Structure 1
Amino acid sequence: MKRRNFVKNSLLAGSVAGMVPQATMASAAQETQQSANQEFYELRVYSLKNGRQQKLVEGYLQNALIPAMNKLGSKTIGVFTEYLAQGYTKLFALIPYATMDDFIKAPEKMAADAAYKQGAAAYLEAQATEPAYERIESSFFKAFTNMPKMEVPEKKPRLFELRRYESHNETASKKKIEMFNEGGEITIFKRVGLTPVFFGEALIGSMLPNLTYMLTFDDMAEHDKNWKTFGSDPEWKKISGMPEYANDKILSNITRTFLVPTAFSQV
């Protein structure tokens, strides 16, 4: 009896599998592969109040964190200051990870790295009366399926624009991400010169739900020119005119920050 039931169930499973369209199976396999290739990003923002703190944190990033993370597989770490900052700037550190597990295990691995501990000593041993920084704000992102890896621009003087799109709920945020991926907005960006560095869906951080991305330009003149080109692009007008992608339905706030790379930034 058990053998007859086993044969019956096996035949039934085979029949169901045969009924699944090959295109659907291929699509599922492709989505699984894309998901496996998607990077993760940590974006740290160091708040500073004086030149001593800025020098100390920059020294830590350049001489301790970046070398240690490079050894762990994060090869392109970006460090930026605010463009035309008023007073002492914030420092932005963008760190890519191949997997979430890499992110989780990085602190423990760095703590066992003698070179890291030596390079980080002044930063890690700063006293409460003279802290290395005021606070760190950290956000963690998963890369978009249509841009699963960071794309590092040519090493030359550049301007970066960091943009955060906040939504009133998770469904709306997912819809905006869909607009970038399946809707084709990323493709239009690249075609008109809005050169992206990364796109990330915020998993942890402030101002949730949100997606955050970074663009790069030669200078502010190119920034203004390429955004104008984007705004008048026929394909963009078609996509943005779709009712389901209307800004007032899926976005509640847009924040942008202009950044310039430090001399030791790898992005």
Structure 2
Amino acid sequence: MKRWMTFGWIAALCLAACSQPAMSSADEYYEIRTIVLGEKGDAAAIDQYLEKALIPALERQNIGPIGVFSAAPNSDTKPGSIFVVIPYAELAQMESSREALAKDSEYLNAAADYLGRDSKTAPYSRISSELLTAMDCWPKTVVPEGTLENEERVYELRLYESANERLGDLKVEMFNQGEVPIFLDSGVQPIFIGQALVGPQTPSLTYLTVYKNDAARLKAWDAFRAHPDWKVLSKNPRFGGTVSRIDKFVLSAKPYSQM
């Protein structure tokens, strides 16, 4: 049986990243698309488009892994949206990817039904997007070994909004100075962590975490809140009031998701 990535290995990766000087550009960028279905949404059509057209086309561009998620059953997360996570190696790749899609005949053929719809038959009501830049404490996407084979896995997507840019940068600093190692020690396993460059809720940061099952998710957050290092870090007056709003989504992966 494949095992999950060990805490020690990931902690070493995180600590090594946090010890490096700030770079002039991020290691990765993340586009987070929230596809809101609305009353007349067609989730099956969107799944068809993502699985058969968009993801294979992005793979041909060496972009991935791509994550696709919806609300987990029996969770407090309201159903009706599909979340798509697309990592880019550099910012210019976003523009070049769009240009490549427009010239990709295999993509255009597979996406014909989706792209051929008009305003009366659109499969969703709107798409809301944000663009993130990877943070020093977690500069690369990590999908732990064995994750995709575990059908019971659940995810949390969290967005931490701040009242202004100064406080938003302080929350990023708080992550970079020690919050992520506490995550790992508690069983909160990040896949990506990024600060928003563009989005409807800037200034903010967003991160995605994965757990073996929902019981493990609840246990991990209990352990995080009780962790002695978190008790110290959370009481540091420098970081007081850095978060004004938290949006939390408990998610399940689509069968074709690569995260």
Aligned to 1:260: 252
Which letter maps to 1:209?
Answer: P
Partners in 2 of 1:196 and 1:87 — Cα distance? 22
Aligned to 2:31: 42
Aligned to 1:70: 59
Partners in 2 of 1:97 and 1:126 — Cα distance? 28
Partners in 1 of 2:123 and 2:34 — Cα distance? 13
Aligned residues: 235
Partners in 2 of 1:146 and 1:35 — Cα distance? 15
Change beyond 3 A, Cα 1:244–1:52: closer
Aligned to 1:109: 100
Partners in 1 of 2:110 and 2:31 — Cα distance? 21
| Structure 2, unpaired ranges of 5+ | 1-19
Aligned to 1:192: 186
Does structure 1 conserve the Cα–Cα contact (< 8 Å) formed by 2:141 and 2:192? yes
Aligned to 2:171: 176
Write out aligned runs for 1:80-95 (5 A). Answer: 80-84=69-73, 89-95=80-86
1:176 to partner: Cα distance: 0.4
**Greater helix share, 1 or 2?**
1
Does structure 2 conserve the Cα–Cα contact (< 8 Å) formed by 1:49 and 1:88? no
1:104 to partner: Cα distance: 1.7
Superposed CA offset, 1:168-223 (max 9, x none): 00000000000000x21111111111000110101111111110001111222111
Aligned to 2:46: 57
1:67 to partner: Cα distance: 0.6
Does structure 1 conserve the Cα–Cα contact (< 8 Å) formed by 2:37 and 2:125? yes
Q: Verify: 1:97 aligned to 2:88, yes or no.
A: yes
Q: TM-score, normalised by structure 2?
A: 0.86
1:31 to partner: Cα distance: 2.7
Q: Which residue among 16, 31, 54 is the counterpart of 2:21?
A: 31
Q: Which residue among 235, 239, 243 is the counterpart of 1:251?
A: 243
Aligned to 1:229: 223
Aligned to 1:12: none
Q: Which has the larger radius of gyration?
A: 1
Partners in 2 of 1:88 and 1:241 — Cα distance? 35
Partners in 1 of 2:230 and 2:247 — Cα distance? 21
Q: TM-score, normalised by structure 1?
A: 0.83
Stretches of 4+ aligned residues off by more than 6 angstroms: none
1:50 to partner: Cα distance: 5.7
Does structure 2 conserve the Cα–Cα contact (< 8 Å) formed by 1:45 and 1:136? yes
Partners in 1 of 2:168 and 2:26 — Cα distance? 22
Superposed CA offset, 1:45-74 (max 9, x none): 111136861111111100111011111121
